[in-house]
Structures are given as C-alpha cells and as structure tokens.
Amino acid sequence: MSKVIAAQIDNILKGDKFIRHKKNAKGNTAIYSRNHPTAKFVRVVVDSGIDLTSGKANNQAGVKLVYINRQKGWRVITTDIFATAKKLASAIKQAEVAEKFVKSCKFCKAKKFKAKTGNEVCANACWTTWAGKKKSGAKKKKTSQKIAAQKTKAARQKNLQRTPQQKSSQKVTPKSQRTYPQRKSYKASSQKKRQKITAEILPGDLVSVEEIELDNITHDYTGSILGIVMKADQHGKVDVNWTANTSSLPEWDMPFTDHYQGGQRRTYRFKVLSRKVEWVKVV
Ligand SMILES: [Zn+2]
C-alpha cells in the first residue's frame, strides 16, 4: 500500500479526463469513470484500488465498461481488466477496444450484459416493456375468452337469445365455432401421405413465428412476435412465454409443437432467433 502509487494512479486517470466518484456503493476504494471515446451510453469505469479512508493504493486497479440504460442504471458489460499503475493506461485502451465485442440487443440496440441468471440480456430490459404490453393484451383476451365461454355455455343450454353485451363481442369467434374453408381441400388431400417436419426447439430459445402455406414461408413475424421457450417435452409439445405480439395473429394460432405436417394450406411454426435451427422432413 502506497500513497505515492495512489498519486500516480490519480494522475493517470485525471490526465485521461476521468472523474473521481465521491462514493463506492460496493467497497471502500475510489472509483473513477468517463465516457467511452466512441460508443454511445458506454462508460469506462476504473476501480482505482485507492482506499477511500487511508488514501493508499493497493496497486491493483480494475478497468471495465458499463452501459448506462434508459433508467440510468449501470450495467457491467465487460469483465475487469486488472492492472498496476504502470500498465493502467494500456488496460484502459484494452477495455475500450473490448466494446466492439459486446453483443447488442437486436431490438433496441442497447448492449447486452450477463444477468444474475447467467443469461445475456438487454441492458435496457426492453423485455419488461413488452411484458407490460403483453399483460394488457392478455387481460383483453381473457375477457373475450370469458365472453366466448359464456356464449358457448348459452348455446349449450339452447338459449339462443343473446344479450346486447354478448352481441358486441361477436367479432371474436371461439375456435370451436369457427369454420375453415380450407378444411375441405385439407381433407381431400389427406389421402396422400403427408410429411412430418420437425425442428429442435429447446428451453431458453428465443422464438418468433413463421407462416407456412403449402410448404413455403409466406410471412415472417420476426420483430412483431417474440417469445422464450420455457419447456419442451418428449412428445414435442413446446411451452412458450410469448413476451411480445404486435401482430394480428391470435394466440390460438401460435405454434406449440416442434413438428407439423407438410403440405398444409396454412400453418404456423416456430422460428428460432437465438441460434441456427432448421426444419427438416422426417424420413
Ligand atoms: Zn433491448
């Protein structure tokens, strides 16, 4: 521990336009920081190793980058590069270069950081905004489902009289009551042997949806539908937490299996965004 080294470190950092923080929430050493020379919202942070009480340095400074998110929260995006006073300047350069290798969120362009769960997530947590949207959407849907259930119940009781309130919800036809014109051709061609098409869908996969018509991709919902796979069982059933859906595709049309039959007029399958996954025909 030395006051001379502390003065050296302080000099190097102040000479490089770092500001010294008054507090350190996580320890008793002096923290210095300044903006990254090129990357927006990225800050270079140095734990100087200078003890705030004694003013002495332990000659082991740590340099890292943080991303300042929308809520002004600091998210650590690189691991510490440790250096002595002598090598501090080059450690700062190294940390700055490391910025290029930090992944960005493909949705809001913020840097990603390793969350406590161990997953790399968006520093802006743009998920939460989507989750909020989903909640209100889900609430709406629940109501229409409830009304639909009431309608079914009413029909079952052969009570064909509808209250005006139920009539107003008629736009949403429950799945059980909907008719599909394509069903006919689907049945007609069912004599032909249809091919099963599968893909490996795993828990943790970030997924969107693709619309398939007669084995061609007719719509890609990337950017408007987003979910994360929670579970995939041995029968191919896939549980997804749909975090965002700004499309008009209703939840009942969302895919829920890792397989489907080829040659259908229209179907929806998962599109895995977080890694390369291909749909293959089962021979
Ligand atoms: Zn984001």
**Distance of alpha carbon 168 from alpha carbon 162, whole angstroms:** 10
Q: Which residue, 234, 220, 229, is CA-closest to 269?
A: 220
Distance in angstroms (rounded) separating the CA atoms of residues 142 and 123: 31
Q: Residue 109 Cα, ligand 1 centroid: separation in angstroms?
A: 6
Give me the DSSP letters along 176-233: GG---TTHHHHHHGGGSPPPEEE----TT-EEEEEEEETTEEEEE-TTTEEEEEEEE-
C-alpha 125 – ligand 1 centre gap (Å) = 6
Residue 10 C-alpha to ligand 1 middle, in angstroms?
Answer: 36
Q: In terms of Cα–Cα distance, which of 126, 145, 122 is closest to 134?
A: 126
Distance (Å, rounded) from C-alpha 94 to C-alpha 224?
38
Span from the CA of 277 to the centroid of ligand 1 (angstroms): 22
Spatial separation of the C-alpha atoms in residues 259 and 255, rounded to whole Å: 9
C-alpha of residue 127 to centroid of ligand 1, in Å: 7
Digit-by-digit pLDDT tens for the chain (283 residues) are: 699 999 999 999 999 999 999 999 999 999 999 999 999 999 999 999 999 999 999 989 999 999 999 989 999 999 999 999 999 999 999 999 999 999 999 889 999 999 888 888 999 988 777 655 554 444 444 444 555 555 555 555 544 444 444 444 445 656 566 555 544 444 444 445 678 999 999 888 888 999 998 888 989 998 888 888 888 888 899 988 887 888 878 777 889 999 998 888 889 999 998 788 889 988 7
Listed by start position, the domains of the chain span 3-122, 189-281
The rounded Å distance from CA 64 to ligand 1 centre is: 21
Closest of 142, 147, 136 to residue 171, by C-alpha: 147
CA of 98 to the centre of ligand 1 (A): 20
